[in-house]
Structure 1
Amino acid sequence: MGTKICRELGQFPQLKGLPLCEPHVIRFANENLKVKIGESVRGADVFLVQTAANAIHAAAGVNPENVSPQEAARLTLSENLLELLITVDALRGASAGRITVVAPYFPYVRSDKKDEPRVSITARLMGQLMREAGADRVLTVNLHAMQIMGFVPMACDQLDANPLIAEYFRRNYDVSKIGVLATDAGGVKIGTVYAERLNVPLAVCDKRRWTDNEDPEIRAVIGIEEIRDREIAIFDDEILTGGTMTRAISALKEGFGLPVSYVSCVHPVFAGNAVDRILETGVRRIVTTDTLPAPQANDRLHVVSVARLLAAAIHNIHTNMSVTQIFREQDSLFETEDDHS
């Protein structure tokens, strides 16, 4: 992702040709880490790109030029986070002027509330650790819940990748044939974003859990007549195992005669065989982004890059311009497959 962002920064004259500085990471036999910054950063405005990846994503592109397959197989999220904190501390010790952590996928983003006794609100802890290590700012994409911005004890900018995905649909499909479906009440907000941007109808599943030990059941689909003869698209912020998504797709097809054509998410966590599980339900295409290293794109999986969006935010932060104005220009930040061919 760092290489992609540097390439996109070339669209700004004052940042054209900006080199990518990669820290040198040594893993000792006792599993300790050593991070050395390869050049002087004294007084520099540093943007440290490190997403919350693990071994699942390493094979899809985490530093493939520097990390052997054996090392990638051992990569864990915990080691990734520790490397991030040690690097921030090294940058602070090297007298960097300002340190911005660019975390396209924020670590422990789903642990955003105390939903049972004696548990940690780990998303809050992640922000506190970054601050204690020496970070001055965080730049991220589509947090699971807005309150996480309040957990981070420093400036935090959240970018929105949903307009980029909506633009992909608008450019590549006949959106007049598409209908958006929210699989539960929690998906209404994101579903509304796409329904409004694509100017298509929105339906909502009435999903209820009859007993505590049962999976939720789709009792009805509110607005089903609006989408019945359309190609149905489901949008989410992230997909983990795909279990909940595949159960919903099967229930919609079997119980309501609604086959799902498209599934989309911002963050492709995709643990295990999540992609295969979703495609086996009859879904025609999955659309996601590269906030995490995604599986190889093919005719049934497309990856919309957020590198240009992050580059625009980095430029505006570095030049003390408004980050908010990026939201009004996001259509121009859509990256086509031919842009770098």
Structure 2
Amino acid sequence: MRRILITGGAGFIGSHFARSLPDAEITVLDKLTYAGDRANLEGVPHTFVHGDLCDAGLLKEVVPGHDLVVNFAAESHVDRSIEGAAVFVRTNVLGTQTLLDACLEAAVPKVVQVSTDEVYGSIDAGSWTEDAPLRPRSPYAASKAGGDLLALAYAVTHGLDVSITRCGNNYGPCQYPEKMIPLFVSRLLDGRKVPLYGDGRNVRDWIHVSDHCAAIRLVAEKGRPGEVYHVAGTAELTNLELTGRLLAECGAGWEMVEHVEDRKGHDRRYSLDDAKLRALGYRPRVGFASGLAETVRWYADHPGRRARHEE
């Protein structure tokens, strides 16, 4: 049985990844910040370690003996990074460096650094390939780019077997309600209006969290050291189009939408070319319509998990 360490495993994507590994011995390391919740791991056999990715002494104890380390631990909300960048740099850059050092010292056979399409900035047309230049436009994106560059440097300098995945916008059950889909669904189900940034024409590519986790598993198995792999979404939508779908799923009308001032430096469009990952055999399985309907049902069935950050 493989031993797998999942950092940030009590968060949205990390907990889904843990749930997708029925035949592994799982260790979860999580600081349990506002977005981490041990309830996300309910029913998943695992060893839980409460700790900070920047704690080198703790990592020296936890990392050895694992066959795979997957780093989900990150501060990830753009709005929060605009309000204060320091915690993003600490976790996403210094935390990644501390983890890479621990993996190197422990001779971990495989490491996967989970990243984001936002490191590339904004693209008006076409799609980024993995060799596109990094042009982050928010403190969050810049901190993730910093962590990625460290990972690539450790692959070259030290020969660490680390691969990077970069994905678009995730959605699905258990997501903390600050991102667009869980926030809008939470508010609409509670009869509250939703805030739509600017003209609503920013474009994002959406992927169900289970497809993202399948891609990470594939990269963990077949990804080459020092290589980046894109995980493209299955539905490219403007925020206006997505809002219309969410209104329909929740039985609400456009009167429930409030247009608010746009975010500073708001990227207009993201788009990834995932031909490299598909060459490894990856195919997404969850259609956007069915995945979105399932997600809305989950929030309807779990009122206690809605819009907690606004309380």
- Scaled by the length of structure 1, the TM-score of the pair is 0.39
Q: Which has the higher helix share?
A: 2
- Scaled by the length of structure 2, the TM-score of the pair is 0.42
Structure with the larger RCO, 1 or 2 (CA within 8 Å, 6+ apart): 2
